[in-house]
Amino acid sequence: MKKLFTLVFGVLFAMCANAVTLDIGEPNNNTKDAKANQVFFDPATKVITFYKQWDYRPGWWTGVNGVDFSAYDEFVLELDNPDKLKIQIALEYNDTYLDGGKENTYTTTQQGDGDKIVLSLDADHKHSVKQIYLQYTGSDASADAPKTVTFKSAYFQNAAPAPEEAVFFDTPSTVSLGWNGDPDKGTVDIVKASLTDVAKTLLVPGNTLRIEYKKDPEEGYSQVQVMGAWWTILPSTLETADQVKNGNAIYNLNGSGVLVVVLTEADLAVLKEQGGVCLAGHGIFVQKISILKTSTPTGISNATVTPATQDAKIYNLAGQQVDASYKGVVIKNGKKYVQ
């Protein structure tokens, strides 16, 4: 039976509304089934027990009308989980929607198999958190062989601010890119880098993917193609690269510098699905790959930045000189860019 503790919870919330975190205590809803002689949470030992897959207990009940947690961004569950059980947090809101004529409640879920699981609240519905419950996702739990973890803490918190830059490749390459890769010449055909958790927080439209490189002095030309980890071309580069043909998008590079790709929604879809970046090209040593938070216009978009070109004049398609705040297709150093 649900334990209604809305009043107590409301008092706690009022006291802590301006705090960075809000502790909600131990599980208090669906903690035992007397008829089945099953205990889902034992306050004496802090042990959480799962008797079957996808069961919805134990959990927390915040109130039939929901509680406003707009001051917070995340719900955090900390456990002692030595067996690496995969557990899902399900957070149900009071807000509803219709699907095929049926009314459903909005729910946010997050799975994890470690000692800490962090669930991001839905910004549109976190004003109406109704209940939270835990589920074991494995199929091997039973009444005769239940699965257990030990509860440590549960709390709401404000998300840590995203960093200005997230570097996810910072080991300068000692071999240069070559379109086909030639072991005899010491070249490789690709450089791949997986997105870190920090980098994923910066996957926001308008932020920039930055690729720092040095020219290989032994090669007569330098080029690069930017893809997701599964060799999918980043869509925005098809609009801004120097050579676009048969679905390929190639940037011609001059000297050493930084290639800057302003990320679009379509680019983000590729990066999120594939989890990383793959570079193919010729005649460069890749030095660093990062995502940079863009708070102000950079004046460039999907362009190569070198000391010789940073201060070049910018023109619109009518030939009129414009500044870095201009939005649209521009010409800089004789090449078209979108800014």
pLDDT tens per residue, range 296-312: 444 444 555 444 344 55
* Residue 129, CB-side half-sphere exposure with 13 Å CA sphere: 32
pLDDT digits (tens, 9 = 90+) for 192-236: 999 998 898 899 999 999 999 999 998 889 999 999 999 999 999
Q: Is residue 315 part of a domain?
A: yes
In which residue ranges of the chain is pLDDT below 50? 1-19, 296-301, 305-310
Q: Is residue 224 part of a domain?
A: yes
Q: Are residues 92 and 133 in the same domain?
A: yes
Amino acid letter, 3: K
In 3D space, the residue among 149, 151, 137, 150 whose CA is nearest the CA of residue 52 turns out to be 137
Q: Are residues 184 and 271 in the same domain?
A: yes
Q: Is residue 310 part of a domain?
A: yes
Q: Which residue among 157, 190, 210 closes a domain?
A: 157
Q: The CATH number of the domain where 68 resides is what? A: 2.60.120
Q: Are residues 176 and 322 in the same domain?
A: yes
pLDDT confidence of residue 3:
37
Q: Is residue 1 part of a domain?
A: no
Cα–Cα dist 231/128, whole Å: 42
pLDDT confidence of residue 18:
39
Q: Are residues 303 and 320 in the same domain?
A: yes
In 3D space, the residue among 87, 85, 80 whose CA is nearest the CA of residue 57 turns out to be 87
Cis before 58? omega within 30: yes
pLDDT confidence of residue 255:
83
Q: Is residue 18 part of a domain?
A: yes
Q: Are residues 15 and 129 in the same domain?
A: yes
Domain count, the chain: 2
pLDDT confidence of residue 315:
59
pLDDT confidence of residue 307:
40
Q: Is residue 87 part of a domain?
A: yes
pLDDT digits (tens, 9 = 90+) for 38-60: 999 999 999 999 999 999 999 99
Q: Are residues 124 and 174 in the same domain?
A: no
Q: Are residues 186 and 118 in the same domain?
A: no
Q: Which residue among 105, 128, 157 closes a domain?
A: 157
- Using CA atoms, how far residue 161 sits from 10, 71, 168, 203, 308, in Å, is 27, 14, 18, 14, 35
Q: Are residues 183 and 206 in the same domain?
A: yes
Q: Residue 193 sits in which domain range?
A: 165-338
- Computed from CA positions of residues 296, 301, 303, 308, in that sequence, does the dihedral angle turn out positive or negative? negative
pLDDT confidence of residue 64:
81
Question: Rounded to the nearest 10 degrees, how much is the dihedral formed by the CA atoms of 197, 261, 305, 170?
Answer: 20
Q: Are residues 199 and 333 in the same domain?
A: yes
User: Would you say 280 and 217 are in contact if contact means Cβ atoms under 8 Å apart?
Assistant: no
Phi, psi torsion values for 205, nearest 5 degrees: -55, 135
Q: Are residues 262 and 143 in the same domain?
A: no
Q: Is residue 330 part of a domain?
A: yes
Structure tokens at 292: 């940079």
Q: Are residues 42 and 65 in the same domain?
A: yes
Q: 314-316 and 208-215 as β-strands: parallel, antiparallel, unpaired? A: unpaired
Q: Which residue among 125, 157, 189 closes a domain?
A: 157
Structure tokens at 297: 């216009």
The radius of gyration computed from the CA coordinates of the chain, to the nearest angstrom, equals 26
Q: Is residue 305 part of a domain?
A: yes
Q: Are residues 99 and 239 in the same domain?
A: no
